[in-house]
């Protein structure tokens, strides 16, 4: 059996041609992990460039609303580029420099990982190509715009379901031909070994900070931690620092989409995922009886993935992490509530964690201390959220803008 | 020596004795693309034009080792409702109808979903000669390889230009039937330069195993095949045949293999 197993999950199910590249990456990662100066460099970069540590904000109004249960929000939305994705990307960027490669490729769903990778590439002087499902390119245009302005080439993927899983396949195809000078900056704790372990390591910075912060602010550990789960990197990021603390209940929240009964969701661990092997690793996937991957749905592009981190699959089966699913409807309601109550605009992805916490708060003990990991900022979702809210002012603005562009195209004016 | 290997060696020997170039042709097609009926016609045309070995790909939704043409064919077949069960039945039908060996190629999840053990036993029962599963490397495939040996299906190993010597030796030792040598880095369907690097790679493969060597990825023309005579035992032509079928139908595929065969 190969390395990289977490219980029954993980492994390296990769084409033979990539094996040597994975071996080199594993070696570079292991060497870096043993080298304390690497982590010091990483911490310094995250402090001076990404704005860490991110705050652990007490949500005072929500806490009051729920009878004094203390609700804290870990503000990964305040990272540079607006999401926890920066943690992983900057770490891998430092590794790329060590490996002497000069080109990076990445896949992206919501666009946050693509944007973080494009930012890292700009700063570190690397050539950058981002693969993105054509459907996601349509719904995340603002992020595409910024990736291109940062100097990355964004390639819309038109195969398959035109979403994240197809972007992963395309990035892997690129890598099979380009591995000599290219590193694939995988965006989450999925894929073949060593990616799940390596990404989880870079993201562990979230939980390490949160642990120190909650102890400083409350003088005790939290009773519950909620985090949304697409691939699972932000959830693992915060959960890892509390795995040994069995008094802390860890809750992963997946995309319930239109509802688990409709089949239009992305709930693998809270829903009907089945163990399988794809994209280089073994985990729970949403698939049919033949083993073909199903189309997934979520209002949040970043949660719209058929697989999930093998580490989380293991933690679920081991009974350490509980999984739940929040529907699109609940998510939009939660997003609105957090904005109004606390003046924080969460990403649709992160709003899944907020929705589940809000659902459960009334039945938690009165002295509960809750942390919600807010994985990213919400302004990237302005088009999707405005659609969901059906805001008339926004519709008017878009119509006016469309007319303005149409006139410009007709008259040739600039 | 497995029955597939014996068959390949005998065919090569006959070809040499008849004064023909000692190289065999292996083709590839995606089951259900554009339809199983069309697959039947193409296979009949391939066999009529002397194709020696046929690889049937069971489509998968995540074909990570395939290039755009084959990936598209996988998706198109699935979109039309292809099921694994009919693919296996099709294998059985082709084995009955044609005298050439048939290999099944697919990704591991297709075996996993059915249970790899029943899948391998069924492949053997249907008369499949071998299995190619590019995302199940040697390290993960131990029990599957043992079962294949037991039931008489060859587990086809892949060798690549990036595979170090030690690993080539391990793969070579576990090889059965033939070894599939990947001509270059990259996915299927792109152009491959037939130069000294490929010959050096094939020589390394030859040193690592005694089974016949098949070279695939980017083999598209009679010249490509001619260049492989004496270096490899089998030339694998996949994407090119699919592209020709798309534009010219089954007959054009037959004509295409006829030109390859006349070298």
Question: What is the model's pLDDT at position A413?
Answer: 57
Q: Would you list which residues of chain B are within 8 Å, Cβ to Cβ, of chain A?
A: 60-68, 71-72, 75, 78, 83-84, 107-114, 134-137, 139-140, 142, 158-164, 167, 171, 182, 185-187, 190
Which SS3 state, helix, strand or coil, does residue B154 take? strand
CA dihedral (A356, A358, A359, A364) in degrees, to 10, reads: 110
Q: Is the pLDDT of residue A290 over 90?
A: yes
More confident call, A373 vs B242: A373
* Rounded mean pLDDT, A74-98: 97
Distance CA A238, CA A227 (A): 8
CA A340 to CA B256: how far, in whole Å? 68
Q: Is residue B187 a contact partner of residue B67, using CB atoms and an 8 Å limit? A: yes
Mean pLDDT over A335-344 rounds to 97
Query: Average pLDDT, stretch A244-273?
Result: 97
| pLDDT for the residue A1 | 42
Q: Specify the pLDDT at position A163.
A: 81
Residue B191: is its pLDDT beyond 90?
Answer: no
Radius of gyration of the CA atoms of chain A, in A: 21
pLDDT tens-digit readout, A346-356: 999 999 999 99
* pLDDT at residue A16 greater than cutoff 90: yes
Closest CA to A328 of A352, A302, A350: A352
Residue A302's pLDDT band (cuts 50, 70, 90): confident
Q: Is the pLDDT of residue A198 over 80?
A: yes
CA gap A376, A82 in Å, rounded: 6
Averaged pLDDT, B78-82: 97
Contact B109 A176 (CB under 8 A): no
Mutant choice from B62, B75, B133 vs A, greatest count of A C-beta within 10 A:
B62
Pairs of CB atoms within 8 A across A/B:
120
What is the pLDDT confidence band of residue A389, given thresholds at 50, 70 and 90? confident
Average pLDDT of chain B to the nearest whole number: 94
pLDDT of A410 over the 90 cut: no
Q: Are residues A177 and B167, on separate chains, in Cβ contact within 8 Å?
A: no
Q: Between β-strands A70-75 and A369-374, what pairing exists: parallel, antiparallel or unpaired?
A: parallel
Q: Exposure string (b/e) for A152-189, b if CB count within 10 Å is 16 or more?
A: bebbbbebbbbbbbbbbbbbbbbbbebbeebbbbbbbb
- What average pLDDT score do residues B5-11 get? 97
A279 touches chain B (CB under 8 A): yes
Q: Which of A85, A101, A165, A380 is catalytic?
A: A85
> Mean pLDDT in chain A?
95
Residue A208, token pair as written in the block: 């390490």
Mean pLDDT of A143-170: 91
Residue A214 near residue A369, CB atoms below 8 Å? yes
CA dist B90 and B259 (Å) reads 27
User: Could you tell me the two tokens for A4?
Assistant: 């990289």
Is A218 noted as a catalytic residue in this protein?
A: no
Q: Does residue A297 carry a pLDDT above 80? A: yes
pLDDT digits (tens, 9 = 90+) for B31-42: 999 999 999 999
Q: Which residue of A has its CA nearest to B82?
A: A290
DSSP A239-300: HGGGTT-TTSEEEEEEEEET-GGGT-SB-IIIII-EEEEETTEEEEE-B-TTSPBPP---SS
Q: Which range is most confident: A167-171, A234-238, A297-301?
A: A234-238
% of chain A surpassing 70 pLDDT = 99
**Interchain CB distance below 8 Å, B109 and A173:** no
Which chain B residues contact residue A293 at CB under 8 A?
61-62
CA distance B248 to chain A (A): 24
pLDDT number for residue B189 = 67
Chain A: residue whose CA lies nearest to B61 = A292
Residues of B in contact with A25 (CB under 8 A): none
pLDDT confidence of residue A412: 66
A374 within 8 A of A346, measured Cβ to Cβ:
yes
**pLDDT band at residue B261 using 50, 70 and 90 as cut-offs:** confident
Amino acid B217: pLDDT: 85
- Residue B58 DSSP symbol: P
pLDDT at B52: 97
Nearest alpha carbon to residue A111 among A386, A348, A405 = A348
pLDDT band at A411 (very low <50, low <70, confident <90, very high): confident
Q: What is the mean pLDDT of residues A166-189?
A: 93
What's this model's pTM, rounded to 2 decimal places? 0.95
Query: What CA–CA distance (Å, rounded) separates A81 from A125?
Result: 17
Which of A15, A19, A179 shows the shortest C-beta gap to B64?
A15
Q: Kindly list the residues from chain B whose CB atom is less than 8 angstroms away from the CB atom of residue A160.
A: 61-62, 75
Answer yes or no: A85 catalytic: yes
Q: Is the pLDDT of residue A105 over 60?
A: yes
How close is the nearest chain A Cα to the Cα of B260, in Å?
27
Burial class (CB in 10 A: 0-12, 13-18, 19+), B179: buried
The most distant pair of C-alpha atoms in chain A lies apart, rounded to whole Å, by 67
ipTM of this complex > 0.85?
yes
Section A163-182 average pLDDT: 90
Distances (CA, A) of A131 to A88, A148, A189, A305, B87: 18, 12, 18, 15, 32
Chain B residues touching residue A133 (CB < 8 angstroms):
none
Query: Is A193 within 8 Å of chain B by CB?
Result: no
d(CA B234, CA A390): 62
B-chain CB neighbours of A310 within 8 Å are: none
What dihedral angle (degrees, nearest 10) is formed by the CA atoms of A359, A365, A368, A374? -10
């Amino acid at each position: 059996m190969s390395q990289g197993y977490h219980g029954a999950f993980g492994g390296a199910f990769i084409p033979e041609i990539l094996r040597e590249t994975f071996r080199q990456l594993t070696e570079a990662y292991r060497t870096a992990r043993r080298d304390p100066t690497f982590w010091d460099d990483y911490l310094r970069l995250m402090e001076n460039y990404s704005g860490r540590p991110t705050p652990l904000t007490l949500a005072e109004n929500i806490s009051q609303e729920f009878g004094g249960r203390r609700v804290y929000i870990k503000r990964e939305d305040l990272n540079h580029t607006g999401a926890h994705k920066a943690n992983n990307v900057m770490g891998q960027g430092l590794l790329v420099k060590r490996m002497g490669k000069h080109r990076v490729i990445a896949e992206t769903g919501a666009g946050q990982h693509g944007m973080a990778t494009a930012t890292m590439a700009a700063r570190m002087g690397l050539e950058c190509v981002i693969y993105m499902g054509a459907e996601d390119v349509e719904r995340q245009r603002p992020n595409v715009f910024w990736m291109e302005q940062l100097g990355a080439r964004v390639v819309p993927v038109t195969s398959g379901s035109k979403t994240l899983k197809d972007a992963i396949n395309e990035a892997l195809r690129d890598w099979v031909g380009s591995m000599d000078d290219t590193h694939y900056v995988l965006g989450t704790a999925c894929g073949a070994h060593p990616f799940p372990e390596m990404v989880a390591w870079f993201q562990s910075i979230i939980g390490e900070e949160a642990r120190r912060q909650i102890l400083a602010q409350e003088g005790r550990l939290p009773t519950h931690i909620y985090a949304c789960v697409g691939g699972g990197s932000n959830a693992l990021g915060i959960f890892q620092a509390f795995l040994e603390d069995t008094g802390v209940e860890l809750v992963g929240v997946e995309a319930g989409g239109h509802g688990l009964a409709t089949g239009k969701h992305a709930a693998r661990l809270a829903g009907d995922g089945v163990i399988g092997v794809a994209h280089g690793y073994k985990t729970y996937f949403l698939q049919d009886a033949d083993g073909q991957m199903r189309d997934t749905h979520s209002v949040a592009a970043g949660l719209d993935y058929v697989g999930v981190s093998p580490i989380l699959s293991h933690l679920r089966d081991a009974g350490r992490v509980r999984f739940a699913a929040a529907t699109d409807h609940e998510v939009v309601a939660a997003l609105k509530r957090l904005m109004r109550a606390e003046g924080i605009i969460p990403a649709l992805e992160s709003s899944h964690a907020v929705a589940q916490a809000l659902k459960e708060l009334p039945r938690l003990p009165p002295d509960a201390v809750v942390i919600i990991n807010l994985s990213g900022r919400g302004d990237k979702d302005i088009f999707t959220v405005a659609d969901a809210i059906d805001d008339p002012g926004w519709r008017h603005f878009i119509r006016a803008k469309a007319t303005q562009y149409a006139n410009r195209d007709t008259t040739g004016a600039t | 020596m497995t029955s597939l290997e014996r068959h390949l060696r005998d065919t090569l020997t006959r070809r040499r004795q008849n004064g023909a170039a000692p190289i065999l042709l292996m083709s590839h097609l995606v089951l259900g693309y554009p339809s199983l009926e069309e697959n039947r016609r193409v296979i009949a045309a391939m066999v009529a034009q002397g194709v020696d070995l046929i690889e049937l790909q069971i489509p998968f939704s995540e074909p990570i080792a395939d290039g755009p043409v084959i990936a598209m064919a996988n998706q198109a077949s699935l979109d039309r409702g292809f099921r694994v069960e009919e693919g296996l039945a099709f294998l059985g039908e082709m084995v009955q109808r044609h005298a050439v060996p048939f290999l099944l190629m697919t990704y591991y999840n297709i075996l996993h979903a059915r249970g790899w053990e029943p899948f391998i036993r069924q492949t053997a029962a249907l008369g499949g000669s071998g299995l190619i599963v590019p995302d199940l490397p040697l390290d993960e495939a131990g029990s599957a390889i043992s079962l294949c040996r037991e039931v008489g299906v060859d587990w086809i190993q892949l060798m690549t230009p990036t595979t170090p010597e030690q690993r080539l030796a391990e793969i070579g030792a576990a090889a059965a039937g033939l070894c599939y040598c990947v001509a270059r880095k990259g996915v299927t369907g792109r152009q491959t330069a037939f130069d000294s690097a490929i010959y050096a790679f094939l020589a390394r493969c030859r040193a690592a195993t005694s089974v016949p060597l098949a070279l695939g990825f980017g083999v598209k023309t009679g010249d490509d095949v001619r260049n492989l005579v004496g270096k490899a035992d089998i030339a694998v032509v996949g994407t090119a045949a699919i592209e020709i079928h798309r534009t010219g139908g089954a007959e054009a595929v037959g004509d295409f293999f006829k030109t390859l065969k006349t070298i």
